[in-house]
Amino acid sequence: MSKKNSKKNDATAGAPVSAQFSNIPGPQFGEKQFIDDPSAFRLKHPSDEALYLNVNKKLLQPIPKPRNLNNLVLKLETVYGDKGNEVVKKIKAAGQIVFHGGGDTGPTKGPQNIDKVTDKLANDFVNEEEREMPYFFFHLGDVVYSFGEAQYYYDQFYDPFRNYPAPILAIPGNHDGLVYKGDPQPTLDAFLRNFVSAEPVQTPEAGGLIRTSMIQPGVYFAFDAPFITIIGLYSNVLEDPGVISSEGDNTSPVSDEQLDFLLTQLNRVKKSGNAVIVAMHHPPYAWGGDHGGSPKMLKDIDDACNKAGFWPHAILSGHAHNYQRFTRSISGYDIPYIICGNSGHNTIALKSTQTTALRAPAKISEELIFENYDDKNYGYLRVICDNKQLRIEYHDANPDQKTYSDAVTVDLKTHTMISN
């Protein structure tokens, strides 16, 4: 194996390191001064084809243990440190919260495509009323390709998001935890260091940029903010399908701890009045493309919802390298299932047996409608939530417009769709 393809924690390769896990006075986010887009990576990313030949495509990985099994809820005010109480007061005074989301950001061929997305994300903070300002980005997985290597965190994550002035939280994608035979680092090694940190510190992977590590309780966790709770799950390392439990296999390296966690969180938030989103990297549903749905994972989630007597207001995922939106009608509720996996790595066209262009909306079953899609552009989600409605907008990366390309609004009390 060449040194370039090694997963060695060598953040000095291609990027200067100003601090080795240095302690700083509280969390830091975007750079204080705007930095122009780079024209190329600092560290060339060689082909991973040889390493993929050493991947066991059926081998799941165990879930890394949270720092504290008795504390799996992270609050927005904690993420902001000393400014947290002030931030929460502003959000409550505004009567709504705005945040971003998206997945599959890590580019391997150069920064141009992800910069289209992150430049427009940063532009969402410019010339906006304070109540329209986003307060965080929730990453839907696949932060760094192809094996979550530490040495690529600078080019694929820290540098692209250098001008994003808010916190970034993340659930891992399959590529963040994927390992190959002879891999020198354990699954999710760099992800844990940069997102599941006990304190906000500047890690070597940041390459001298100011953003500090995120302080998530684990690779699965609940995130509480005014008006909204996001329950994030880790759907493991297979290309397909997503897996969040043992699925009844006593020999599986995956435990059922996320099922207990999901049920506990659904019971905790069902009377909170907040909007509730469940997020995972692999989509429960996906149209015919290179990535399909995950029916067993869907059943695990359904079982937890039925036991809790509560269904989330939306399900978010990535992985499919395009945008897709479904409406599922179940138990008297309308639930949007949204894929946003086109936030920088690449885009993949949806495949159809039809000779004409794919048409949406399309009825897939009595409970499922395929509503809309974008398989040509890069993009991200902008989510707006108050005490009555949850609105999820999809924005493509066209720099000349701030209008959304698709949107869905859910009434929180009735769990039904509202016309946009």
288-297: per-residue pLDDT in tens? 767 889 999 9
**What is the residue extent of each domain of the chain?**
3-418
Tokens at 334, concatenated:
């309308």
Tell me: the pLDDT tens digits for 32-61?
A: 999 999 999 999 999 999 999 999 999 999
Terminal CA-to-CA distance of the chain, rounded, Å?
A: 53
Give CA–CA dist 283/23, Å, rounded: 37
Give the chain's count of helices (H) and strands (E).
9, 18
**Residue 415, pLDDT above cutoff 80:** yes
| 61 in Cβ contact with 179 (< 8 Å) | yes
Cis amide leading into 160 (omega within 30): no
Q: What is the rounded radius of gyration, in angstroms, for the C-alpha atoms of the chain? A: 20
Class for the domain spanning 3-418: alpha beta
Share of the chain above pLDDT 90, in %: 86
What is the pLDDT at residue 19?
Answer: 35
pLDDT band at 419 (very low <50, low <70, confident <90, very high): confident
| CA geometry: angle 228, 233, 239, nearest 5 deg | 135
Give CA–CA dist 341/414, Å, rounded: 29
What is the pLDDT at residue 25?
Answer: 73
Query: Across the chain, what does the average pLDDT equal?
Result: 92
Tell me: the pLDDT tens digits for 322-378?
A: 999 999 999 999 999 999 999 999 999 987 655 455 788 999 999 999 999 999 999
Neighbour tally for 169: CB within 10 Å? 22
Closest alpha carbon to 379 in 361, 390, 392, 366: 392
What is the pLDDT at residue 400?
Answer: 84
| 356 in Cβ contact with 68 (< 8 Å) | no
What is the pLDDT at residue 62?
Answer: 98
pLDDT band at 149 (very low <50, low <70, confident <90, very high): very high
Angstrom CA distances, 88 to 13, 132, 378, stand at 39, 14, 31
